[in-house]
Amino acid sequence: MPDGQFPPDHATPHATAATRTLRSPAALIAAGLAPPRQAAALQAVAARYAIAIPPALQAVIETPDDPIGRQFIPDPAELLTAPHEHPDPIADEALSPLRGIVHRYPDRVLLKPLLACPVYCRFCFRREQVGPDGGVLADAELDAALDWLRDRPAIREVILTGGDPLMLSVRRISRILNALSDIPHIELLRIHSRVPVATPEAVSEAVADALAAPLHRDRAVFLVLHANHARELAPAARAALARIQARGIPVLGQSVLLRGVNDSAEALEALFRAMLRARVKPYYLHQLDAAPGTARFAVPIEEGRRLLAALRGRVTGLAWPTYVLDVPGGHGKVPLGPDYLAPGGVRDVSGAYHALK
């Protein structure tokens, strides 16, 4: 299949066999997604970092090192930590006043109700924390987080992340969203998830109804979908997103610039076009966070800026995300986009700019 195209609606060989989530090196080897000779090395990786590849993503993996397989199939290189890598690269822990809360900006917070995911990305910046035993916040911990939010009227936005909040039960999702909607100063709720592409069958009508409930209480709700390659937006994923969008919830897209996954203008163009076809507005393209064992995915910032510059004029402005770096140490995101007006920039138009002044 040409790079960046949607998979066909009919089953692929992996889709035919995939009936369960692969969670171990042995399961990967049995599925033909890892060579038997790597069994011991992959077991060492699994002892440190969680593995999970659900059927929907198995269905769009063509080879273990293709743009989908590379994101989710473990590699022995994950046990090599480069000098610049850090287990908490953006200082989540340092900015966490209590369990489940990260407070980096004055007007918004992260609320992490659980630390489990439907799929474990091999480049995840929270890879030291997430896993199937990540669990959920206990009732007392969730109540403490809600009380903390009630006491801070400067906070207007809560971002549900994790882990993946859409792995929670409908009852739990409803409880959290209703409680947040009851706090007068919280105006905006944002939900970050990979579930629509990883386990689209989990996005039921009941889940979509729960996500929409705050809309009826004059609260804005956005879903932010994490996808890095056009093939992730398969028919089942688009159907899951449509169930959410039918409730009036806008969907934004966030991606990470990754070596061997989307590090070409063609792959990024295909990804952003696929998002728009699915009514997902590309929002952020993240520079890779330097978590341990992720160096094989790193794309230098200047290369990323050149890739974005190559797309200017080639895709609609609706397809244009903000290219950002989360500054190490918890200093927040800064934009990295090409500077067209700077002399010697990626595309030097400074002369024309000064002629207009």
| Catalytic annotation, pick one of 333, 340, 347, 348 | 333
On the CB side of 164, how many CA atoms lie within 13 Å of its CA?
A: 23
Side-by-side strand order, sheet with 188-193: 101-105, 108-111, 157-160, 188-193, 220-226, 251-256, 280-286, 322-327, 332-335
Per the annotation, the verdict on 49 as an active-site residue is no
| Catalytic annotation, pick one of 66, 70, 75, 117 | 117
Per the annotation, the verdict on 122 as an active-site residue is no
| Catalytic annotation, pick one of 66, 289, 305, 323 | 289
| Catalytic annotation, pick one of 126, 190, 219, 243 | 126
Per the annotation, the verdict on 108 as an active-site residue is yes
| Catalytic annotation, pick one of 124, 281, 305, 323 | 124
On the CB side of 39, how many CA atoms lie within 13 Å of its CA?
A: 7
Helix (H, G, I), strand (E, B) or coil at 190: strand
| Catalytic annotation, pick one of 3, 48, 105, 172 | 105
Query: Could you tell me the two tokens for 76?
Result: 């022995």
- For 53, residues 6+ apart whose C-beta sits below 8 A from its C-beta are 21, 22, 28, 33, 61, 72, 73, 119
| Catalytic annotation, pick one of 112, 121, 122, 273 | 121
Per the annotation, the verdict on 333 as an active-site residue is yes
- For 172, residues 6+ apart whose C-beta sits below 8 A from its C-beta are 113, 136
| Catalytic annotation, pick one of 70, 104, 231, 305 | 104
DSSP 218: T
| Catalytic annotation, pick one of 3, 23, 92, 108 | 108
Per the annotation, the verdict on 121 as an active-site residue is yes
Per the annotation, the verdict on 326 as an active-site residue is yes
Which residues are the active-site residues? 104-105, 108, 117, 121, 124, 126, 289, 326, 333
